[in-house]
Every structure is written in structure tokens, then in C-alpha cells.
Amino acid sequence: MQMVMWSTRANWRAQIVPTVVIAGILAGCAGGGSSTGGDPGAKQLPPGSSCQSVKAELDRLVGSGVQSSVEAQTAGRKLAPAQKAQADRYNQLLEQYLGARCHVA
């Protein structure tokens, strides 16, 4: 008899704990724009820029082979000043593009 009660309690805990954890996670996601780390929303692009103009410049940099410079910079390798400037510009534009949510518009 004692073994059956323990087993029932263990099963109850095994079912309730994951349910409580999942409910907590979902409640956190549903919080939206709370001050505890919610989604800040889309950022504005710099004046005179648009999603299309930022994308066009990103495409131009990709066409000129900036990927290898960005990868080298990320890996911590030394770059020539011109390559570093291109990689920095690409990263800046990509941050603007993603921050403004141009990729979901």
C-alpha cells in the first residue's frame, strides 16, 4: 500500500512540474513589451534611408565579396584597413536592416 501511494505522488510530480514550467515560459512570452526584457519593437532607420536602400547597399557589399572579410573579422584575424571598413559597414547596415525589421516587412 505504501509503495502505491509513493508511486502516485511521484507520477503527480512528474506531470505537474513540467506543466508549471511550460506555463511559466508561455506566460513570459505573452508578456509582450514588458520592462523585463520584452520586445523593444522595430528601430528607425537613419534619416534618408529606407529598407530598399539599405538592402541595395548590403547586396552591393556582398557582390564585392565582403563575406570573407566579415568572417575573418569575426574569427579575429587582422584585416587591411579597407577590408575592415567594408566589414564594419556591412555589419552596421545589417544591424540597421534587421533592427528595422526590413526582413519581415
Domain ranges of the chain: 1-38, 51-104
- What is the band of 102 on the pLDDT scale with cuts at 50, 70, 90? very high
pTM over 0.75: no
Smallest Cα–Cα separation from 55: which of 103, 19, 7, 87? Answer: 103
CA angle 100-71-80, nearest 5°? 105
pLDDT tens-digit series, residues 18-72: 554 455 555 555 555 445 567 788 899 999 999 999 999 999 999 999 999 999 9
- Buried-exposed string 2-23: b where 16+ CB fall within 10 A, e elsewhere: eeeeeeeeeeeeeeeeeeeeee
Return d(Cα 105, Cα 88) in angstroms, integer. Answer: 25
